[in-house]
């Protein structure tokens, strides 16, 4: 489903290789955790997948599409196949919980009836039914992250990408977020998670890809945290 073909990324600013000749295949329905120290290249890998950055060498495929050859309009459509969750939540600050999620649906061209039906439903799923009309600054970190997850899954994407989603959360909230991601994966959605939280990785017990200095050093089918 996702295929990194000998991808190298050099940032012009520091001339070092953030990713060094990476080849990686992720199949449909997998739960892949990507671990590594800060600066190992985890976030760069995610940015490649979201086409936020272009590879210096190599190609990134989604299904059979080279994602760096997409036009602007195709890129918007491609991104609707991927739900993204970030460490810093990245909610739209002047929109309510409801509007943040509705925005993703509006962007995907869903009609108003569908939005009115689905948004409350997904907010119930992440247990935020009572915070529908709160603004992000009125929510706790864990609540914000659950809004972000709700936004990521609302359009039923093929892939959920979660970049350090537990980084800013306490262990209880972190665990909750991971449980939600596992549930989403159980329903058939591919999940790609980056983290350096040992407890999180060990509790998932699925595929772990270890990155170091821009290279893949381990790729374990049923891995544990090994840094």
Contact 226, 220 (CB under 8 A): yes
Question: According to the binding rule CB under 8 A, does residue 225 interact with another protein?
Answer: no
Question: According to the binding rule CB under 8 A, does residue 3 interact with another protein?
Answer: no
Question: According to the binding rule CB under 8 A, does residue 12 interact with another protein?
Answer: no
Nearer to another protein, 147 or 216 (CB): 147
Distance CA 170, CA 214 (A): 29
Q: x/- binding map, residues 125-164, to another protein, per CB under 8 A?
A: --------------------------x---x---------
Length of the chain: 227
- Total residues at the site for another protein (CB under 8 A)? 26
Nearer to another protein, 13 or 73 (CB): 73
User: Given its phi and psi angles, is residue 36 left (phi above 0), alpha (psi -120 to 50 degrees) or beta?
Assistant: left
Contact 153, 160 (CB under 8 A): yes
**Using CB under 8 A, which of 111, 137, 172, 221 touches another protein?**
111
Q: Mind giving me the DSSP string for 23-58?
A: EEEE-TT-EEEEE--TTSSHHHHHHHHTTSS--SEE
Contacts of 173 (CB under 8 A, 6+ apart): 140, 141, 142, 145, 166
**Using CB under 8 A, which of 28, 37, 107, 171 touches another protein?**
107
Question: According to the binding rule CB under 8 A, does residue 90 interact with another protein?
Answer: yes
Distance CA 150, CA 152 (A): 5
Q: x/- binding map, residues 48-87, to another protein, per CB under 8 A?
A: --x-x-------------------xx--xxxxx---x---
Distance CA 199, CA 74 (A): 38
Question: According to the binding rule CB under 8 A, does residue 114 interact with another protein?
Answer: no
Binding site for another protein (CB under 8 A): 50, 52, 72-73, 76-80, 84, 90-95, 103-104, 106-109, 111-112, 151, 155
């Amino acid at each position: 489903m996702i295929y990194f073909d000998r991808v190298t990324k050099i940032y012009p600013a520091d001339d070092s290789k953030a990713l060094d000749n990476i080849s990686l295949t992720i199949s449909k329905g997998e739960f892949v955790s990507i671990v590594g120290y800060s600066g190992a290249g985890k976030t760069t890998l995610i940015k490649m997948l979201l086409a936020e950055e272009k590879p210096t060498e190599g190609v990134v495929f989604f299904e059979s599409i080279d994602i760096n050859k997409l036009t602007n309009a195709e890129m918007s459509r491609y991104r609707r196949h991927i739900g993204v969750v970030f460490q810093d939540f990245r909610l739209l600050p002047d929109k309510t919980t409801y509007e943040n999620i509705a925005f993703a649906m509006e962007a995907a061209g869903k009609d108003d009836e569908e939005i009115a039906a689905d948004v409350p439903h997904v907010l119930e799923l992440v247990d935020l039914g009572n915070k529908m009309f709160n603004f992000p600054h009125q929510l706790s970190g864990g609540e914000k992250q659950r809004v972000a997850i709700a936004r990521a899954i609302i359009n039923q994407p093929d892939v959920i990408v979660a970049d350090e989603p537990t980084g800013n959360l306490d262990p209880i909230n972190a665990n909750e977020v991971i449980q939600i991601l596992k549930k989403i994966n159980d329903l058939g959605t591919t999940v790609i998670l980056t983290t350096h939280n040992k407890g999180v990785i060990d509790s998932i017990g699925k595929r772990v890809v270890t990155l170091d200095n821009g290279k893949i050093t381990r790729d374990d089918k049923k891995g544990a945290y090994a840094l």
